[in-house]
Amino acid sequence: MIIGITEVKPKNSAYKLNPAEFNLDLIDNYDLFSINIDSDKGRGMILYVHKTLGAKEVNMEINYEENIFVKIALNNNDALLLGLLYRSPSEIALSNNNSNLLNLITESTQKNFSHILLMGDINYPNIDWETHSCKSDNIESDEYKFTQCVQDNYLYQHVTKPTRWRGSDTPHVLDLIFTNEENMVSDIEYLSPLGKSDHCVIQFQYNCYTKLKIDNRTKICYDRGNYEDFNKEILETNWEVLLNQGDHIDKNWEKFHEKLLEMEKRYIPVKKIKTSTKRKSEFYMDKKTLEKIKKKNSLCRKSIATKDPSIRLEYNKVRNQVKTMTNKLKREHEKKLSTNAKKNPKAIWKYIKSKSKTRSGIGELLTDQNDETSRKTDDDKEKAEILATFFNSVFTKEPEGEVPTLPIKNTKNKMLQMDINKEEIAKILKGLKVEKSPGPDRIHPRILKELAESISTPLCIIFNQSIRNSTVPSRWKEAQISAIFKKGKKCIAGNYRPVSLTSVVCKVMEKLVREHIVKHMKINKFFTDRQYGFISGRSTSLQLLNVLDKWLEALDNGKSIDVIYMDYMKAAFDTVPHKRLMNKLRAYGTELSVLNWIC
């Protein structure tokens, strides 16, 4: 499914819109392309394309303010160029802009696409599209030039019925659909407008052979797992024999990993994911509301057919009733979500996320990040390599040789050698958040939490071997990295930040090591009293209360207050000098096996 919407922003609105406000309920299934939504320019446009179509944005050379172009791969190496256009009626006097529109249409037909589909609100009321002629004989008029451009580029226009009317105004054909072949469009329907718009919605079938990215994935149903038998088999497994202490840590990890995933297949059911293009309502629609929506659509069709002002007035009345009823249902739905927020927090956060996140993917990237005039690529492999090169470049390049050392701290209580027990592991596993994603090893936190007591035995063997030998499984060093757009131009790799998804089991091990070090630091009072955050019992909220108390005391004594706020730059954690960090840990008396493990 493809949905194109023009004139998204209301006229003379003081409220500035955000692209996140235009997310569909099924945003995960759609790619969102937009222009002029959060700026003062134009009226704004939105284009939704279902993810199975694999649309990629196309940048046109002609400078025309309101246009969105994407390409969609078809069978037999063919491709569809899809364009959404808007021409403002207030720009009639701006002949340069009208000329750019003609040049843009010409450019679209010269890009060697086998299929072309252009649609949008062009606002030329004096063109008769049944005869492709203008009501005026003036060959210098913009409307005449537009019809000539359409004919010169061998495009077919498919809309013949009026698409816009208001009150006693004469209905006009303003919203158009162009293709480069006559039979590409069929089953055109003229539906009721969106909200209070005076343009009807045009629905049609576009005929082509698409190369759909069919989602044949299977979903693992962790909620329906047989954890009782799963636990039983883990307890019956002789892990002391299976995980040979003489083997390398990689071998033991692979044995555990393969055994666990093999058992998961037997005890956790799976189901096939069905890809759907149908949009579901985000809240329940009662029978009365559905009947009212049906009546609204019926009156809209009647109004278009008869052009009777009284029917139009009745349609307006029913349309307003539908808006009131759906708003009421939406408020009730939101109230229910907030009431049950403590019992079902996932539902309300899912709803909030759908309203506050815009996911538009990674656009075309410059092949040479130091030259903004270089070629852009939309090839996934090339984009991954460009991003990887940039992310690698920001890491600290430490000089060869020795680095400065810190004086050894006076430790009254030396750090003991780390010995991990099953109880510690089980405690952390029971506290895992099951809604989190698994890492590259595909071990889901739900399984680890459900099997906390039994699975702590093999993990205890692997963790202690890892600490004693100061090695970690190589698989723990793998990560799935997503590039998240921050701000600026989307074609520049430096405007993205990496988010890594790593092994959940490795994170459990890291937490145990961290707790061991923090305990040592606390016993020896190495933390300053000014340290808040990242330490249990000393939250940033407590810090705020503490500093407010000091500020109020200063104000009571007639003193002034100057405050400096600082934040880490985006690459701060990528540029930590590892050699200096290790020297600092050594100076604070970190036990040798733990130090080597971190190293």
Quick one: pLDDT at residue 125? 83
Q: pLDDT class for 15, splitting at 50, 70, 90? A: low
Is residue 512 within 8 Å of residue 425, measured between CB atoms?
A: yes
Quick one: pLDDT at residue 14? 64
Quick one: pLDDT at residue 358? 47
Is 23 within a domain? Answer: yes
The pTM of the whole model exceeds 0.85: no
Tens of pLDDT, residues 434-445: 888 899 999 999
What phi, psi does 245 have (nearest 5°)?
-65, -20
Give the pairing of strands 185-191 and 2-5: unpaired
d(CA 327, CA 323): 6
292 and 154 within one domain? no
Q: pLDDT class for 558, splitting at 50, 70, 90? A: very high
Query: For residues 441 and 247, which has the higher predicted lDDT (pLDDT)?
Result: 441
Q: pLDDT class for 94, splitting at 50, 70, 90? A: low
Q: pLDDT class for 24, splitting at 50, 70, 90? A: low
pLDDT of residue 27 exceeding 60: no
Q: pLDDT class for 447, splitting at 50, 70, 90? A: very high
% of the chain exceeding 90 in pLDDT? 30
Helix axes 422-430, 504-523, angle to 10 degrees: 110
Least confident of 415-424, 458-467, 512-521, 525-534: 525-534
Quick one: pLDDT at residue 323? 85
452 and 315 within one domain? no
Quick one: pLDDT at residue 357? 46
Quick one: pLDDT at residue 36? 78
Is residue 358 within 8 Å of residue 332, measured between CB atoms?
A: no
The pLDDT of 232-252, averaged and rounded, is 90
Among the candidates 206, 231, 258, a domain finishes at 206
d(CA 423, CA 350): 34
Is residue 115 within 8 Å of residue 81, measured between CB atoms?
A: yes
Query: For residues 299 and 19, which has the higher predicted lDDT (pLDDT)?
Result: 299
331 and 225 within one domain? no
148 and 58 within one domain? yes
Tens of pLDDT, residues 49-71: 888 888 888 888 888 878 888 88
**Burial readout 275-303 (b: 16 or more C-beta within 10 A, e: otherwise):** eeeeeeeebeeeeebeebbebbbebbbeb
The pLDDT of 473-490, averaged and rounded, is 87
d(CA 168, CA 146): 27
Choose among 132, 193, 199: nearest CA to 164. 199
Q: What is the CATH number of the domain that holds 116?
A: 3.60.10.10
pLDDT of residue 164 exceeding 90: no
Number of independent structural domains in the chain: 3
Quick one: pLDDT at residue 93? 45
Tens of pLDDT, residues 399-413: 788 888 889 998 889
Query: For residues 262 and 93, which has the higher predicted lDDT (pLDDT)?
Result: 262
137 and 17 within one domain? yes
Among the candidates 169, 185, 206, a domain finishes at 206
Quick one: pLDDT at residue 425? 96
334 and 438 within one domain? no
Q: Which residues lie closer than 8 Å to 370 by C-beta, 6 or more apart?
A: none
579 and 466 within one domain? yes
Q: pLDDT class for 327, splitting at 50, 70, 90? A: confident
Tens of pLDDT, residues 168-188: 667 788 888 888 888 888 888
Is 212 within a domain? Answer: no
d(CA 290, CA 298): 12
Encoded tokens for 210: 């698409």
Is 506 within a domain? Answer: yes
Is 255 within a domain? Answer: yes
Quick one: pLDDT at residue 18? 67
The pLDDT of 569-586, averaged and rounded, is 81
Encoded tokens for 569: 């730059």
182 and 294 within one domain? no
Is residue 103 within 8 Å of residue 97, measured between CB atoms?
A: no
Quick one: pLDDT at residue 334? 86
pLDDT of residue 286 exceeding 80: yes
Q: pLDDT class for 571, splitting at 50, 70, 90? A: low
Is 378 within a domain? Answer: no
pLDDT of residue 246 exceeding 60: yes
Q: pLDDT class for 397, splitting at 50, 70, 90? A: confident
Is 266 within a domain? Answer: yes
Q: Which residues lie closer than 8 Å to 145 by C-beta, 6 or more apart?
A: 98, 102
Encoded tokens for 538: 């000393």
* Chain mean pLDDT for the chain: 84
Give the pairing of strands 480-485 and 496-501: antiparallel
The pLDDT of 318-335, averaged and rounded, is 86
342 and 405 within one domain? no
**Burial readout 28-43 (b: 16 or more C-beta within 10 A, e: otherwise):** ebbbbbbbbbeeeebb
Quick one: pLDDT at residue 124? 83
Is residue 121 within 8 Å of residue 175, measured between CB atoms?
A: yes
**Region at 36 (left for phi over 0; alpha for psi -120 to 50; beta for the rest):** left
Is 365 within a domain? Answer: no
Tens of pLDDT, residues 104-140: 888 888 888 888 899 988 888 888 877 777 877 677 7
The pLDDT of 555-575, averaged and rounded, is 83
430 and 567 within one domain? yes
Q: What residues make up the domain containing 137?
A: 2-206
Among the candidates 334, 355, 376, a domain finishes at 355
Is 146 within a domain? Answer: yes
d(CA 337, CA 268): 30
pLDDT of residue 159 exceeding 80: yes
Mapping DSSP onto H, E and C, the string for 329-363 reads HHHHHHHHHHHCCCCCHHHHHHHHHHHHCCCCCCC
Query: For residues 192 and 551, which has the higher predicted lDDT (pLDDT)?
Result: 551
Is residue 70 within 8 Å of residue 49, measured between CB atoms?
A: yes
Mapping DSSP onto H, E and C, the string for 568-599 reads CCCCCCCCCCHHHHHHHHHHCCCCHHHHHHHC
Encoded tokens for 286: 């009662």
548 and 400 within one domain? yes
Choose among 130, 162, 432: nearest CA to 312. 162
Helix axes 227-236, 452-469, angle to 10 degrees: 40
What phi, psi does 119 have (nearest 5°)?
-145, 155
Choose among 419, 193, 207: nearest CA to 301. 193
Is residue 195 within 8 Å of residue 323, measured between CB atoms?
A: yes
Query: Alpha helices, DSSP H only, in 69-206?
Result: 95-109, 142-152
311 and 401 within one domain? no
